Structure 1
Amino acid sequence: MKYTITGATGHLGQQVVEAMAELVSANELNLGVHTPSKAAAFKQRGMTVSAIDYQNIDSLKVAGQGSDVFIYIPSKSHDSFSRVTEFENVLQAVTAAHVKHLLVMGFIADQVDNPFALSAFYGYVPRRLAGSGINYTIIRNGLYADPLVPYLPELIERHNVIYPMADKALSFITQTDSAKAFAKVATTPALLVSGRIYTLTQSRNYTMPELAQVLSTVSGQKIGYQPISLQAFSDLYNQGGEGPMLASMYAGGARGLLETVSSDFETIMGRPAQSLTDFLEANYHN
């Protein structure tokens, strides 16, 4: 078997590679990366490293040639048009390379009425794949819990969670759990069903007062909930031009569009996803 993984040196991609390495031999793994030098350690372990550029269809085609499963992890571009263009290049390449199955990362903010700047991309993917003639499976993630760990000291200093979420809730999944689910689906024929869409979340979601209570318990500091405006949030976290995109995500969240809860992770892995409290207690050290 040949498994090609794009974005293999990114935060999620690295964990997908490690999870795959627990289930298949290293020589079955082909890592598509923009900068091959960043994957040198993987290459030393016997994995193949292929240079890819999402804007270069030929590079994607060469990387995907002979792949039984092609795991597509999107780039971190901030707008839907860029990602749709990238995705179309991937589709053209995997079709030309005769890839047997495409496994795609999605996100729960894919509703047609979601103001999130990337919802058009995440909504486009399943509709486009449905008419593509390609064998595909999609794994939609909840919000990653991981950024809460480095963010917690700032929230302690502010004494409040400030997400502009009104009274709505957020659903989370850890990157480690997401990666393990990706690897399990990719390597299990009974799970790698064409047209199947899985949604990965923990077993419950959290309103902002509930999230604040969890963060208070883990940190030992009193944290409340005092939301700021969408514009203020955008201005505050506009490093790298991400502010408007992040604010648009919480605009969707304030409409209840980020609170999906699913049992698909347990279906895939045979156990519940790690809870938010357990994850934070294991990873936050004050």
Structure 2
Amino acid sequence: MIAITGATGHLGQATIQALLTQVPASEIIAVVRDPQKAAALQAQGVQVRPGDYNDQASLTAAFAGADKVLLISTVETELELRRQQHLNAIEAAKQAGVAHLIYTSVVNPSAESPFVASPGHAATEADLRASGLSYTIFRNTLYLDLLPGLIGESTLPSGKYHSAAGKGKVSYALRSEIGEALANAMTSSGHENQVYDIAPAPAYSMRDVAQTLSEVSGQPVEYVAISNDDLKAALRQHHLPEPVVELLAGMTQAMEQDEFNLDSPAFEQLLGRKPTNLQQFLASVYGK
């Protein structure tokens, strides 16, 4: 059986839907904080069990009988709390007798990264290696799905795309396809103690994004470089909470520093086909 934490989140749901094409629903355990929010999964025959990242005992019970656990990283931004939540899941997997744990990390995890999620991933990877569990680490790049939010509603009407990412490039991946790759890895062998960079070529700068957006929409879009301070000010003008401002500004700074600029064949190999690229994705959202 395969247990999946954060099962009602976007990546969790994508992974489960991919798994349902490969294994019986009864062999999938959706671990969720609020089982009522997983009624649709339960209706598909998936086992739904309560489990809270902050409650190790609940996770141990939720993982009972599972051979593999997919630990989808939490959304907690405070480093030590995030690390403890992941540690709770790792220890629960050990106590439940789980044979293999798959963890969703980030490309180039580092304690020095300006991207606030990165230090927590680096710490959890170290904890996982020290746990004695067999593991697979998916180091995910940024989602293509994030781009509409970064582009915003005013870009096409104004014809200007403002970004503080400079000349930095990003290798994007579609979240649903990462879910497929995870499902493929969990239903096949040979992934023990492997680290996969989920970062397909080519990588794109934000100027490339603006140019591609112009091509698929049929409307001219000019790239306008701004500073990170200008970005923070604009985000605050939209009344975003300060932790979100710092998250987005830090992510953009990491983009500018090329932290997401990788070229790995792992994603295509795990997916079994060429992944969706920038032009295909933007055309599906903004195409004429």
Scaled by the length of structure 2, the TM-score of the pair is 0.92
Q: Secondary structure at the match of 1:173?
A: coil
Give yes or no for contact 1:236–1:243 (8 Å, CA) kept in 2: no
Aligned mates of 2:18, 2:235 — CA distance in 1: 32
Pairwise CA distance, 1:270: 2.5
- Asked if residue 230 in structure 1 is aligned to residue 231 in structure 2, the reply is no
The alpha carbon displacement at 1:51 in A equals 1.1
Q: CA deviation at 1:112?
A: 4.5
Kept in 2, the 8 Å contact 1:139–1:200? The answer is yes
Q: Deviations over 1:239-282 (max 9, x none)?
A: 24301111111112211212112110122123221111112212
CA–CA distance in structure 1, aligned partners of residues 161 and 254 of structure 2: 17
- Residue in 1 that maps onto 2:281: 279
- The amino acid across from 2:264 in the alignment is S
Cross-structure match for 1:165? 165
Equivalent of 1:263, from 262, 265, 279? Answer: 265
1:134 match: 133
What amino acid is aligned across from residue 211 of structure 1 in structure 2?
A: V
Deviates more, 1:120-129 or 1:233-242: 233-242
Q: Tell me the amino acid that sits aligned with residue 194 of structure 1.
A: E
SS in 1 for 2:154: helix
Structure 2: 5+ residue runs without aligned partners? none
List structure 1 segments (4+ residues) > 4 angstroms apart after TM superposition.
none
Match of 2:93 in 1: 94
Q: Secondary structure at the match of 1:59?
A: helix
- Could you say if the C-alpha distance between residues 100 and 12 of structure 1 is closer, same or farther in structure 2, counting changes exceeding 3 Å? same
2:253 maps to a residue whose letter is A
Q: Counterpart of 1:5 in structure 2: which amino acid?
A: I
1:62 maps onto 2:64 in alignment: no
**CA displacement at 1:162 relative to structure 2:** 2.2
What does 1:38-49 correspond to in 2, within 5 Å? 38-49=37-48
Which runs of 5 or more residues in structure 1 are unaligned?
A: none
The aligned residue for residue 184 of structure 1 is 184
Q: Is the 8 A contact 2:177 2:271 kept in 1?
A: no
In 2, Cα distance between the equivalents of 1:80 and 1:236? 26
In 2 relative to 1, CA 96–158 (structure 1 residues): closer, same or farther, beyond 3 Å? farther
Q: Deviations over 1:165-210 (max 9, x none)?
A: 12111110001110100000011113xx222011112320012221
Number of equivalences: 283
Match for residue 204 of structure 2 among 179, 203, 206: 206
TM-score, reference length from structure 1 = 0.93
Distance 1:15 1:5 in 2: 11
Offset at residue 39 of structure 1 (A)? 0.8
Q: Secondary structure at the match of 2:145?
A: coil
The code of the aligned residue for 2:61 comes to: V
1:50 corresponds to: 49
217-226 or 99-108, larger mean C-alpha shift: 217-226
Partner amino acid for 1:215? L
Secondary structure in 2 matching 1:162:
strand
Identity %: 29
Letter in 2 for 1:124: A
Q: Which residue of 2 aligns with 1:220?
A: 218
Question: Residues 127, 100 of structure 1: CA spacing in aligned structure 2 closer, same or farther, 3 A cutoff?
Answer: same
**Residue 79 of structure 1 aligns with which residue?**
78
